[in-house]
């Protein structure tokens, strides 16, 4: 996947969500991109992708603390709401659309 494809996927999902602001690119290099998406309740999400390493990470942040996340560092896993320091393994990739479903259910 290219950086442009990743950005397009994030934008498409966020714009369709009733709880998201429009994503903003906060960091872009020749190999990596980080987008920030505001959430209506005051939280925000970061979505990161490194094209060179294939690393993908999503995080829901409240204040300065991650309260939910998912990434593929060491295999796909989730950092659950109940204990975001934990690494619960996943059997498959989590897409940003899947991540957003979890966020939308929690924010309701």
pLDDT in tens, 50-91: 999 999 999 999 999 999 999 999 899 999 999 999 999 999
**Is the residue at 8 inside a domain?**
yes
The two structure tokens encoding residue 78: 């989730």
Q: How far apart are CA 60 and CA 23, in angstroms?
A: 13
**Is the residue at 107 inside a domain?**
no
Q: Which domain holds residue 70?
A: 3-98
The two structure tokens encoding residue 106: 């929690």
pLDDT in tens, 10-27: 999 999 999 999 999 999
CA atoms within 13 A on the CB side of 32: 12
**Is the residue at 38 inside a domain?**
yes
**Is the residue at 103 inside a domain?**
no
**Is the residue at 11 inside a domain?**
yes
């Amino acid at each position: 996947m290219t950086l442009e494809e990743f950005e397009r996927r994030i934008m498409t999902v966020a714009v369709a969500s009733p709880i998201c602001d429009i994503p903003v690119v906060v960091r872009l290099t020749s190999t990596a991109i980080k987008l920030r998406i505001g959430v209506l309740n005051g939280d925000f999400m970061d979505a990161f992708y490194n094209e060179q390493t294939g690393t993908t990470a999503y995080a829901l942040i409240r204040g300065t603390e991650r309260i939910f996340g998912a990434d593929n560092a060491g295999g796909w896993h989730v950092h659950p709401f109940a204990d975001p320091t934990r690494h619960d393994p996943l059997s498959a990739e989590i897409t940003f659309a899947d991540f957003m479903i979890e966020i939308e259910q929690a924010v309701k």
